[in-house]
Amino acid sequence: MTKDAIFEPYNLGALTLANRIVMAPLTRNRAGSDFVPGDLAVEYYSQRASAGLLISEATQISQQGQGYQDMPGIYTQAQIDGWRKATDSVHAKGGHIVLQLWHVGRVSHVDLQPNSGAPVAPSAIRAATKTFVNNGFVDVSEPRALSLEEIPGIVEDFRQAAANAIAAGFDGVEVHGANGYLLDQFAKDGANTRTDTYGGSVENRARLLLEVTAAVAAEIGPDRTGIRISPVSPANGVAASDPQTQFNYIVEELEKLGIVYLHVVEGATGGPRDVALFDYDALRKRFSKTYIANNGYDLELAETRLSEGKADLFAFGRPFISNPDLVERLKTGAPLAELNPATLYGGGAEGYTDYPAL
């Protein structure tokens, strides 16, 4: 493997990526009240099309799945049409993009829910976190536990959202099973105290995540289906008593589905990589397709992990916000631009599409 292997093409299923650098999904809250990505989103993703793979911002599969204001959806024709403009712009520049499918579960607020209802969750346990609604950060609302009869509808919403993503021109989808959102809530016993077939054992708590992934893969093909997990991240107040056993099992089952990639947040999302002991190599050994490593990566760490065979692709998050040409900057050793944290969430072009290339 050459020293510059990270900048060389890589085959991801049927896609030939220009390099091994992935733009991680990044919440930006700019879709507007209709939850349709607009012209700014088209420009934003087009500017970053030199990444080997773009993963879109988390996108709700239904109104019930929404947890933050001004986030895009993928459940109406207007949303599909809006996303089509973005995917066309990325493809016109030779890039590839997948859509991250999202249901937030209990990380929501009644002001965002249908008929101002309670957010849904595996169990009626309020998350120790805040959400962004009414132009400010507030405590999430008290959730209600999903009934057994409702769960097939959640699976169906993910399946339909995957079909809609392909209709919108995406090259595939990423199931969001990380960061304390619905599928992660079911998987982790700190948020799931159910005693039915979706709670209790390792197998039962993994059931919804695996059913959703299987339904998506059956709809659009496993070669266009990926998933993101965060085994030890405390994001949005989730915790697992034995994450190694839980996620070893989950990855073994994902391997059977033949999906094209596993995207792993190593450590605390946006925080320390060593937040808890966990053997990520155990996941790598259980999954034969592409492993995307995420969290705290710079070029040096990515090159080291690649040379060791620990991962195939490397996801960069915030550096892509302020450096639309991040790949070129990394390749040439050019300095990286600083981001403005005040413009991360909400607003318009400032801090979104106005960061210049070199």
354 within a domain of the structure (yes/no): no
Q: Is the pLDDT of residue 32 over 90?
A: no
Instruction: Calculate the alpha carbon distances from 275 to 208, 292, 346 in Å.
Output: 26, 19, 29
Q: Read off the pLDDT of residues 239-277 as tens digits, 9 standing for 90 and up.
A: 999 999 999 999 999 999 999 999 999 999 999 899 999
Domain that holds residue 213: 5-343
Angle (CA) 148-241-128 rounded to 5° is 70
Would you state the pLDDT for residue 1? 61
Instruction: Write out the H or E segment, with its range, that includes residue 131.
Output: strand 130-133
CATH number at residue 13: 3.20.20.70
356 within a domain of the structure (yes/no): no
Decide: helix, strand or coil at residue 30.
Answer: coil
353 within a domain of the structure (yes/no): no
Q: Is the dihedral of CA 83, 228, 292, 255 positive or negative?
A: negative
Tally of domains in the chain: 1
Contact 120, 63 (CB under 8 A): no
Residue type, 352: Y
355 within a domain of the structure (yes/no): no
Would you state the pLDDT for residue 356? 95
348 within a domain of the structure (yes/no): no
Q: Give one DSSP letter per residue of 40-106, joined into a string.
A: HHHHHHHHTTTSSEEEEEEEESSSTT--STT--BSSSHHHHHHHHHHHHHHHHTT--EEEEEE--TT
Read off the pLDDT band of 28 (50, 70, 90).
very high
162 within a domain of the structure (yes/no): yes
204 within a domain of the structure (yes/no): yes
318 within a domain of the structure (yes/no): yes
| Catalytic residue numbers, as ranges | 181
Q: Read off the pLDDT of residues 160-189 as tens digits, 9 standing for 90 and up.
A: 999 999 999 999 999 999 999 999 999 999
Overall pTM surpassing 0.75 (yes/no): yes
Q: Read off the pLDDT of residues 126-160 as tens digits, 9 standing for 90 and up.
A: 999 999 999 899 999 999 999 999 999 999 999 99
Would you state the pLDDT for residue 2? 66
